[in-house]
């Protein structure tokens, strides 16, 4: 990675409020996959302690907003760390990629989407590395900040953007000097505090800034081995003393879309679906003349294929990472050309939207905001070739934008500001029109209401 790429966004040494020092060429610290695992587990541990205080801060600053960013960030981080608790791959690049994929797919709320992009940038910087030097990891961290900034809409600078730049600039000089990773993190945290996103006594002036500092502090504690929060068991769920905390098993994601055919098999479709129901979600198996056609979503495609070998001859195997931008191709002939997917606040609201004409409903209330993966999974249901997704823009703005970024032209997004607007838009959906034309038509009706 060229330093110029970082400097163009964060400024060179002439913009730093520090005195340049001679680069430390003696630091030969090596950061392993195990170190990275401890860092992200430490961040998750920190959010376990602080997620309610983040919710409370947001409620104080935005009493009428109705979001729970602390819960969203905790559940996003829970999804991120789940695949590495027992991962066989112990390279830093491999673990970082697994964390990023799960975080992007499991992201909830705007804060979760921003965090997922931070982890995505770190993974890009560590791609293909067995281990990393302090300088390599520091540069990867700065790329993570870049990705987190870029996911935010182009508008007047938000405090989270300004905070991100302050943190990145603080780390920049430490990276240039080739300092140990703990000192790089110290510099980043200190820069954040000087900027004013933390007043030094545990308070915070901005929710996004507090989230960032808790993430950095958690990484520090994890690297040191200082886990101070309750431990959640990702196999058994919450242990004693953790009552009321979200169960991390509920946030496990299945980001890999696996399709294949089984030739020369006597197995029944329902038997094969049962075989995979504990390893995958959205399992669909159809009997065809030459055998079976299988389409499922899983976190372990290799294990699914290994279990499938005894069914017959496997052909046309395809694996797609649904957390990355891709072309959504139906595994089976879709029932409709275009379908309307709506997000409801609760079951009662879902009934209303269904009567208005929605084809698919995703239920996600204040305490259970739908994840990016939930919406993408719905679009992979083979119901339609393309989709119009409609939801509360104030609550799910970045989540919907993330879905659009990943699925591209196969999905169009309509953001509304109330349940009443959602009902108006749905009533103007016409299944005879394309997703693009429908979305434009629905937005026009909202401006004319």
pTM attached to this predicted model: 0.85
On the question of pLDDT at 235 being above 60, the answer is no
More confidently predicted of 401 and 232? 401
The whole-number average pLDDT for the span 15-32 is: 60
Alpha carbons 182 and 35: distance in angstroms, whole number: 11
Using pLDDT thresholds of 50, 70 and 90, give the confidence band for residue 159.
Answer: low
On the question of pLDDT at 229 being above 60, the answer is no
Q: DSSP class of residue 190? A: H
Q: Given this model, what pLDDT does residue 23 score?
A: 52
Tokens of 106: 């499991």
Task: List, for residues 178-227, the tens digit of each pLDDT value.
Answer: 888 888 888 888 887 777 665 444 444 578 888 888 898 899 999 888 86
The whole-number average pLDDT for the span 228-253 is: 61
Give the largest CA-CA distance in the chain. Answer: 73
Residues of the chain with CATH 3.40.50.510: 336-448
**CATH second-level architecture of 336-448?**
3-Layer(aba) Sandwich (3.40)
Using pLDDT thresholds of 50, 70 and 90, give the confidence band for residue 173.
Answer: confident
Alpha-carbon torsion angle 282, 287, 290, 294, nearest 10: 10
Q: Given this model, what pLDDT does residue 94 score?
A: 95
User: Which of these ranges, 12-16, 136-140, 155-159, 303-307, has the smallest mean pLDDT?
Assistant: 12-16
On the question of pLDDT at 4 being above 50, the answer is no
The whole-number average pLDDT for the span 397-415 is: 92
Percent over 70 (pLDDT), the chain: 83
More confidently predicted of 63 and 418? 418
Query: Are the beta carbons of 5 and 156 closer than 8 angstroms?
Result: no
> In 3-state terms, what secondary structure has residue 327?
coil
Q: Given this model, what pLDDT does residue 143 score?
A: 87
On the question of pLDDT at 8 being above 80, the answer is no
Q: Given this model, what pLDDT does residue 423 score?
A: 92
Q: Given this model, what pLDDT does residue 197 score?
A: 60
More confidently predicted of 394 and 396? 396
Task: List, for residues 33-59, the tens digit of each pLDDT value.
Answer: 999 999 999 999 999 999 999 999 888
**CATH second-level architecture of 256-321?**
2-Layer Sandwich (3.30)
More confidently predicted of 383 and 192? 383
Which residue matches tokens 């003349």? 289
Q: DSSP class of residue 384? A: E
More confidently predicted of 284 and 248? 284
Q: Given this model, what pLDDT does residue 241 score?
A: 40
Closest CA to 196 of 179, 184, 173, 212: 212
Q: Given this model, what pLDDT does residue 160 score?
A: 63
Alpha carbons 423 and 439: distance in angstroms, whole number: 14
What is the third-level CATH fold of 3-234? 1.25.40
Residues of the chain with CATH 1.25.40: 3-234
Alpha carbons 55 and 366: distance in angstroms, whole number: 12
Using pLDDT thresholds of 50, 70 and 90, give the confidence band for residue 158.
Answer: low
Q: Given this model, what pLDDT does residue 435 score?
A: 95
Residues of the chain with CATH 3.30.70: 256-321
Alpha carbons 55 and 72: distance in angstroms, whole number: 9
Task: List, for residues 288-340, the tens digit of each pLDDT value.
Answer: 888 999 999 999 899 999 999 999 999 999 999 999 887 666 656 788 899 99
Alpha carbons 52 and 349: distance in angstroms, whole number: 27
């Amino acid at each position: 990675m060229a330093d110029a790429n970082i400097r163009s966004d964060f400024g060179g040494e002439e913009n730093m409020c520090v005195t340049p020092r001679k680069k430390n060429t003696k630091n030969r610290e090596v950061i392993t996959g195990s170190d990275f695992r401890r860092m992200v587990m430490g961040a998750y541990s920190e959010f376990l302690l602080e997620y309610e205080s983040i919710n409370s801060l947001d409620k104080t600053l935005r009493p009428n907003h109705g979001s729970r960013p602390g819960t969203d960030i905790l559940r996003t981080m829970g999804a991120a760390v789940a695949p590495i608790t027992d991962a066989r791959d112990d390279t830093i690049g491999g673990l970082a990629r697994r964390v990023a994929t799960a975080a992007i797919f499991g992201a909830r709320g705007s804060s979760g989407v921003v965090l997922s992009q931070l982890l995505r940038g770190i993974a890009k910087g560590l791609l293909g590395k067995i281990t990393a030097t302090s300088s390599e990891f520091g540069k990867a961290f700065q790329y993570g900040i870049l990705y987190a900034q870029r996911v935010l809409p182009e508008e007047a600078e938000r405090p989270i953007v300004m905070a991100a730049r302050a943190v990145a600039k603080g780390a920049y000089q430490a990276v240039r000097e080739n300092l140990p990773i703990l000192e790089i993190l110290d510099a980043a945290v200190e820069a954040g505090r000087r900027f004013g996103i933390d007043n030094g006594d545990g308070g915070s002036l901005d929710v996004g800034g507090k989230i960032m500092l808790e993430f950095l502090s958690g990484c520090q504690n994890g690297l040191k081995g200082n886990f101070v929060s309750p431990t959640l068991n990702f196999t058994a769920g919450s242990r004693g003393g953790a009552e009321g905390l979200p169960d991390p098993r509920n946030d496990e994601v299945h980001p890999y879309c696996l399709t294949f055919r089984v030739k020369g098999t006597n197995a029944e479709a329902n038997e094969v679906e049962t075989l995979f129901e504990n390893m995958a979600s959205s399992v669909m198996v159809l009997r065809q003349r030459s055998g079976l056609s299988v389409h499922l979503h899983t976190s372990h495609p290799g294990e699914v294929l290994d279990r499938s070998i005894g069914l017959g001859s496997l052909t046309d195997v395809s694996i797609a990472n649904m957390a990355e931008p891709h072309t959504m191709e139906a595994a089976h002939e879709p029932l409709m050309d275009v379908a309307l997917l709506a997000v409801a606040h609760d079951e009662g609201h879902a009934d209303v939207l269904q009567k208005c004409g929605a084809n698919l409903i995703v239920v996600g209330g204040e305490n259970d905001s739908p994840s990016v993966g939930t919406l993408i999974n719905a679009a992979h249901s083979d119901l339609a070739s393309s989709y119009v997704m409609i939801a509360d823009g104030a609550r799910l703005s970045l989540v919907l934008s993330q879905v659009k970024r990943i699925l591209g032209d196969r999905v169009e997004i309509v953001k509304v500001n109330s349940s009443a607007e959602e009902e108006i838009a749905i009533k103007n959906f016409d299944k005879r029109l394309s997703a693009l034309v429908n979305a434009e038509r629905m937005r026009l009706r909202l401006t004319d209401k």
